[in-house]
Homo-oligomer: A and B are copies of this chain.
Amino acid sequence: MKGFAMMCIGKTAWINKERPIIGPFDALVEPLALAPCTSDIHTVYSGAIGERTNMILGHEAVGRVVEVGSEVRDFKKGDRVVVPAITPEWRTTAIQEGVPAQHSEGMLTGWKFSNIKDGVFGEFFHVNDADMNLAILPESISLEQGLMMCDMMTTGFHGVEMANVQFGSTVAVIGIGPVGLMAVAGAALRGAGRIFAVGSRPTCVKIAKEYGATDIVNYKQGSIVTQILEATKNHGVDHVIIAGGDNSVLGDAVTMLKPGGVIGNINYFGEGDSLPIPRLAWGCGMAHKYIHSGLCPGGRVRMERMIALVKYGRVDPAKMVTHRLSGLEGVEKGLEMMHSKDADVIKPITII
Contact = CB atoms under 8 A, between A and B. Distances in A.
A333 interface: no
Contacts of A103: 259-260, 283, 287-288
Interface string A285-302: 111111111110001111
Contacts of A48: 284
Q: Of A94, A268, A291, which is in contact with the most chain B CB atoms at under 10 Å from its CB?
A: A291
14 contacts: A91-B132, A99-B260, A100-B288, A102-B286, A103-B287, A107-B259, A190-B191, A193-B308, A250-B277, A268-B284, A276-B277, A286-B293, A286-B295, A287-B293
A30 to B, nearest CB: 24
Interface of A: 48, 90-91, 93-103, 106-108, 129, 131-132, 157, 161, 166-170, 186, 188-195, 212, 214, 238, 242, 247, 250-251, 258-260, 265-279, 282-295, 299-302, 304-309, 311-312, 314
Contacts of A108: 259, 283, 286-287
A290 B288 contact: no
A269 B278 CA distance: 11
Given A285-B293, A286-B293, A306-B168, A132 B279 contact: no
Contacts of A295: 283, 286-288
A8 B96 CA distance: 36
Nearest to A96: B301
Given A93-B301, A295-B288, A274 B279 contact: yes
Contacts of A271: 279
Number of this chain's copies in the assembly equals: 4
Contact of A272 (B91, B102, B214, B279): B279
Contact of A131 (B91, B102, B283): B91
A188 B191 CA distance: 9
Contacts of A251: 274
Contact of A275 (B186, B191, B276, B286): B276
A319 B224 CA distance: 37
A96 B250 contact: no
